[in-house]
Structures are given as structure tokens and as C-alpha cells.
């Protein structure tokens, strides 16, 4: 299947999924209007081990590409990594006619997109996501970013890749934790924009999907549907001035969970796991601020638990999270702004919340400890 994400003149990104995705990549590389003078593949150690040979076997022309490898993990989505990659590209003679292929999960596509969009004021790049999170969220939408210290995604650009190639066979290299991280973003997309997808998720449930792994047909259906919904939203608001903000549901508090776990190095949480816990808090906040029925909040909790482990919080942890939320990009003045649910499939953005309301939503989460 092919989708096109149109975000303005000259800003379209083609998205390929399905069994012929590598054939489409071969055709795409052969049809580039001006051939790249050099091709680079950005990856990390784990993805290089699991996925690079699969790619180069299916697309032999990429066997000659130069490999850029970074250590794996969120902490490497940093200015230090970006500077290192800029220097390597410059040292290896990269130019505006070069092509960067980002092969990996969300860290690679976020970082690689940022590096490509800024090196020489922008070079061409494509994404080949290898994680479920990358396939349904991080690679789609034209956001590039790096972290600023412990603050998630604070520095970045809006720049579409030339194309995105989604090969669901890479899911076979993921464990259940990796699938959990991506599945959280599918839950989010359904909750903010599509009641039918939400009902479908309730019927398939993640544990059933894990038992059927690697059932590509089911995963391809969920991925294609999620990507199509996200593209529809992004096309209407590429630079996130209004509608696109609904995709931040679960992320304001979720990023605080993630940063807390990374800063304390106490059982670090994946991005998706963090967003799942953030959705519980922000569903409760939705009951108080945007009219969500408490029964729908409880349905969100049932969807997330028991698949996603409870993460215990102390009073000190809560102080850290509130300080972190104060840095959130979506705040207006001194108040944090949230994207909240009116009902499953119907979200609203720009809801101002006071600190005591946020604290109460996190305290609600703490009552769910098992």
C-alpha cells in the first residue's frame, strides 16, 4: 500500500507498506531525479546486527552505502550525537546531493531527520523504521528532534523525509517490550481520532497479538490504519498550531515519567510505556477538565493494565515530574496545556491545567498501585 503525506508544495512524503516495500525502495532509489553523490545509512549497533543485512540483501545497491553507527538508547538523541554526525558527514565528503537513510527506531529517525534537515541547510533523507513505535509514530509526520539534557524533544525542525518504507518483517526482531512501546502509540491515535480503531483494539488486545506474532497481515492492517489517521491530521496542521496538538495526548505527563526514569536510572521506561502511563493520568484529567465519562477513563485503564507495568512514584518523584512539566513546549504562560479526551475518538487541544489539577491526576494514578 502507498500513502502520500501532503504538507504543502514540494513537501510531500510517500509512505510505502506491504510485502513489496523493498521492491518499491529499489524503484524509488532508481528514480531519484538527480542521483545522490553519496549514500549514508544511520543505524545503531542492535539494529545494524538485526536489520542491516535484511535491507542490503533486498536492495543490493545499498551494500555500497557508508554506515554511520551510534550507540543505542534515548540518551544518544542529543546535540553531542548530532555534532558527531555532522562532523562525520563533512569528513566523508557529504554534500547537498547526498542521501541519508535512517534505519532504526524512533531515536534514529528523530536524530537522523534532525541531522539531515540541518546539515548543509538540508539534505535528502528517507526513513526505514524498524520498531513498531517508529512505524506508527516517530517516522511519520515530519518532526525531527533531539533532547536538551533531560528535556525530551526540545530542539528540532519540521521537515518531511522524501519517503518512508515500512517493512513489518522487522517486527520479528522485537521482544514483547518493544511491541508494547509501539502499541501505546496505536492506542493513542485511536483515542484521539478514531472510535472504530479504538473498538478494534479492544477486540484484538495486545496479548492476543503477541500470541499470533509474527502475523504480518494483522500488524500491517493496524499500522496502515494508524498511519493513515495520523497523515490525515498532520496534513491539516503540519506545524502543530492547533489540530495536530491532539496527538500529544498522554505525552505531557508521559514525557515526565520517561525523563524521571532516565534521570534516576531506576528501571528506565520506554517512550511508549511512559506514554501509556501518561494516558492514564491524562484520561483522569479529561474527566475533570473536558467531560470524559469516568467509564471511558476506566476503559483506558483496562486497556493499559496489566500489559504495561505500574511504575511506583514517591513524593520526591512527583516534585521532579512537576518541575519537568513546567518546561513543556505546549505551555501557555505559567500554565501547562494538555490535549485531552471528550470521548474515545474525540479529543481537544489547548486545555489549560493548573498545577494542583495535574498533581491530582498523578495522585489518581498512584492509587492504582498493585
CATH number at residue 296: 1.20.1090.10
Return the minimum-mean-pLDDT range out of 26-35, 63-72, 188-197, 315-324. Answer: 26-35
When pLDDT is cut at 50, 70 and 90, the band that residue 80 belongs to is: very high
Return the minimum-mean-pLDDT range out of 47-51, 209-213, 285-289, 305-309. Answer: 209-213
Q: Which pLDDT score, from 0 to 100, does residue 36 have?
A: 83
Expressed as residue numbers, the domain containing 97 is 2-173
Q: Which pLDDT score, from 0 to 100, does residue 266 have?
A: 77
Q: Which pLDDT score, from 0 to 100, does residue 205 have?
A: 73
Tens digit of pLDDT for each residue in 189-198? 999 999 999 9
Residue 178 domain flag:
no
CATH number where 108 lies: 3.40.50.1970
Q: Which pLDDT score, from 0 to 100, does residue 232 have?
A: 95
- What number is the average pLDDT over the span 49-62? 96
Q: Which pLDDT score, from 0 to 100, does residue 33 have?
A: 65
169 and 191 share one domain: no
198 and 302 share one domain: yes
Q: How far apart are CA 86 and CA 82, in angstroms?
A: 6
Residue 63 domain flag:
yes
More confident residue, 10 or 38: 38
Q: By percentage, how much of the chain surpasses pLDDT 90?
A: 78
105 and 72 share one domain: yes
Q: Which pLDDT score, from 0 to 100, does residue 152 have?
A: 84
Residue 182 domain flag:
no
Given a cut of 60, whether residue 57 has pLDDT beyond it is yes
Tens digit of pLDDT for each residue in 233-262? 999 999 999 999 999 999 999 999 999 998
243 and 357 share one domain: yes
Tens digit of pLDDT for each residue in 313-367? 999 999 999 999 987 656 666 679 999 999 999 999 999 999 999 999 999 999 9
Q: Which pLDDT score, from 0 to 100, does residue 212 have?
A: 63
Mean pLDDT of the residues in the chain: 92
Return the minimum-mean-pLDDT range out of 20-34, 78-92, 117-131. Answer: 20-34
125 and 192 share one domain: no
Residue 222 domain flag:
no
Residue 39 domain flag:
yes
- What number is the average pLDDT over the span 40-53? 96
Residue 218 domain flag:
no
Q: How far apart are CA 24 and CA 31, in angstroms?
A: 10
Q: Which pLDDT score, from 0 to 100, does residue 106 have?
A: 95
- What number is the average pLDDT over the span 63-68? 96
14 and 149 share one domain: yes
Q: Is the dihedral of CA 59, 73, 368, 280 positive or negative?
A: negative
279 and 253 share one domain: yes
For the chain, how many structural domains are there in total? 2
287 and 335 share one domain: yes
Residue 181 domain flag:
no
Given a cut of 90, whether residue 267 has pLDDT beyond it is no
- What number is the average pLDDT over the span 290-294? 98
Q: Which pLDDT score, from 0 to 100, does residue 8 have?
A: 67
Given a cut of 70, whether residue 306 has pLDDT beyond it is yes
The overall longest dimension of the chain from CA atoms, in Å, is 59
Residue 223 domain flag:
no
192 and 112 share one domain: no
- What number is the average pLDDT over the span 141-157? 91
Return the minimum-mean-pLDDT range out of 4-8, 28-32, 226-230, 328-332. Answer: 328-332
Q: Which pLDDT score, from 0 to 100, does residue 12 have?
A: 79
Q: Is the dihedral of CA 227, 228, 230, 235 positive or negative?
A: positive
Q: Which three cell numbers stand for residue 275?
A: 506514554
120 and 264 share one domain: no
Given a cut of 80, whether residue 11 has pLDDT beyond it is no
Given a cut of 70, whether residue 10 has pLDDT beyond it is no
Return the minimum-mean-pLDDT range out of 148-162, 176-190, 212-226. Answer: 212-226
- What number is the average pLDDT over the span 273-287? 98
Given a cut of 70, whether residue 214 has pLDDT beyond it is no
21 and 167 share one domain: yes
145 and 254 share one domain: no
Amino acid at each position: 500500500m502507498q500513502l502520500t503525506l501532503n504538507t504543502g508544495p514540494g513537501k510531500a512524503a510517500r509512505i510505502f507498506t506491504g510485502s513489496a516495500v523493498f521492491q518499491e525502495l529499489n524503484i524509488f532509489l532508481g528514480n531519484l531525479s538527480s542521483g545522490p553523490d553519496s549514500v549514508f545509512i544511520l543505524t545503531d549497533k542492535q539494529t545494524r546486527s538485526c536489520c542491516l543485512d535484511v535491507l542490503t540483501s533486498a536492495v543490493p545497491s545499498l551494500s555500497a552505502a557508508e554506515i554511520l553507527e551510534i550507540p543505542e538508547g534515548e540518551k544518544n538523541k542529543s546535540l553531542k550525537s548530532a555534532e558527531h554526525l555532522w562532523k562525520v558527514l563533512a569528513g566523508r565528503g557529504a554534500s547537498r546531493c547526498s542521501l541519508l537513510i535512517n534505519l532504526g527506531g524512533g531515536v534514529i529517525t528523530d536524530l537522523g531527520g534532525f541531522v539531515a534537515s540541518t546539515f548543509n541547510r538540508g539534505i535528502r533523507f528517507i526513513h526505514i523504521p524498524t520498531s513498531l513505535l517508529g512505524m506508527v509514530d516517530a517516522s511519520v509526520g515530519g518532526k525531527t528532534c533531539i533532547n536538551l539534557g533531560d528535556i525530551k524533544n526540545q530542539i528540532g525542525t519540521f521537515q518531511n523525509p522524501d519517503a518512508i518504507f515500512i517493512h513489518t518483517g522487522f517486527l520479528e526482531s522485537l521482544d514483547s517490550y518493544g511491541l508494547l512501546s509501539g502499541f501505546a502509540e496505536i492506542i493513542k491515535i485511536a483515542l484521539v481520532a478514531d472510535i472504530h480503531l479504538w473498538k478494534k483494539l479492544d477486540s484484538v488486545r495486545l496479548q492476543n497479538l503477541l500470541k499470533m506474532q509474527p502475523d504480518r497481515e494483522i500488524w500491517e492492517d493496524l499500522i496502515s490504519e494508524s498511519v493513515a489517521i495520523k497523515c490525515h491530521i498532520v496534513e491539516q496542521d503540519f506545524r502543530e498550531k492547533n489540530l495536530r496538538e491532539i496527538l500529544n495526548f498522554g505525552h505531557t505527563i508521559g514525557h515526565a515519567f520517561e525523563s524521571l526514569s532516565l534521570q534516576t536510572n531506576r528501571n528506565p521506561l520506554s517512550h511508549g510505556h511512559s506514554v501509556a502511563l501518561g494516558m492514564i493520568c491524562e484520561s483522569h484529567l479529561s474527566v475533570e477538565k473536558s467531560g470524559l465519562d469516568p467509564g471511558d477513563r476506566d476503559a483506558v485503564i483496562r486497556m493499559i493494565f496489566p500489559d504495561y507495568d505500574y511504575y511506583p512514584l514517591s513524593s520526591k518523584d512527583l516534585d521532579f515530574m512537576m518541575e519537568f512539566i513546567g518546561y513543556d513546549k505546549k505551555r501557555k504562560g505559567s500554565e501547562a496545556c494538555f490535549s485531552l479526551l471528550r470521548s474515545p475518538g474525540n479529543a481537544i487541544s489547548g486545555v489549560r491545567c493548573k498545577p494542583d489539577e495535574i498533581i491530582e491526576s498523578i495522585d489518581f494514578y498512584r492509587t492504582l498501585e498493585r
